[in-house]
Amino acid sequence: MVNYKSKNAVVSKAPYELYMAFVDMRNFVNMLPEDKKNGVTADYDSLHAEVQGFNIGVKVADRVPYSKIEFADDGAPFQFRLAMHFDPASDPYKTDYHITLDADLNFMMKTLLGSKIQKALDKVVDSLVDISEGRMPEGLDI
């Protein structure tokens, strides 16, 4: 297993607000632009999509109310567990947020994807901070 941890950042939303936005997998589909929703299905606990001919699935593996949501592969090309952490910040209306990922990557995949995975996790954190502060995330065109 390869372990990744995103940067920590303070998001301008309370932990319960972030938790509630991510707890239902159907919310992820609602966040997608219309042209990306084709082939994506979700229910409360899982999401499945066809991406470049691959059927990829993700399911909620654990929920710790207002603190952590853990996702696991559900038909992905490799095994993984991703956790979103919603820790209280010094301001009760803000959240110390980060993501952890454990992935079963072979040497070739680790070599090709390792730095891209780290950058992607950090980009998700930065984008969530931007959105919570009313800014359009850099590189996101909706």
Q: Find how far residue 73's CA is from the centre of its chain.
A: 13
Q: Any idea what DSSP says for residue 123?
A: H
The pTM of this model reads 0.88
Q: Find how far residue 89's CA is from the centre of its chain.
A: 20
Domains defined along the chain, listed by start: 2-132 (3.30.530.20)
pLDDT recorded at residue 114: 84
User: What gap in Å lies between CA 58 and CA 55, rounded to an integer?
Assistant: 10
At which residue do the structure tokens 């372990």 appear?
A: 3
pLDDT band at 93 (very low <50, low <70, confident <90, very high): very high
What proportion of the chain, given as a percentage, has pLDDT over 90? 70
Tens-digit pLDDT profile for residues 60-70: 999 999 999 99
Tens-digit pLDDT profile for residues 112-142: 888 899 999 999 999 999 999 988 776 654 4
- Please say whether the beta carbons of 38 and 139 come within 8 A: no
pLDDT over 90 at 53, yes or no: no
Q: Which among 56, 53, 24 is positioned nearest to 40, based on CA atoms?
A: 56
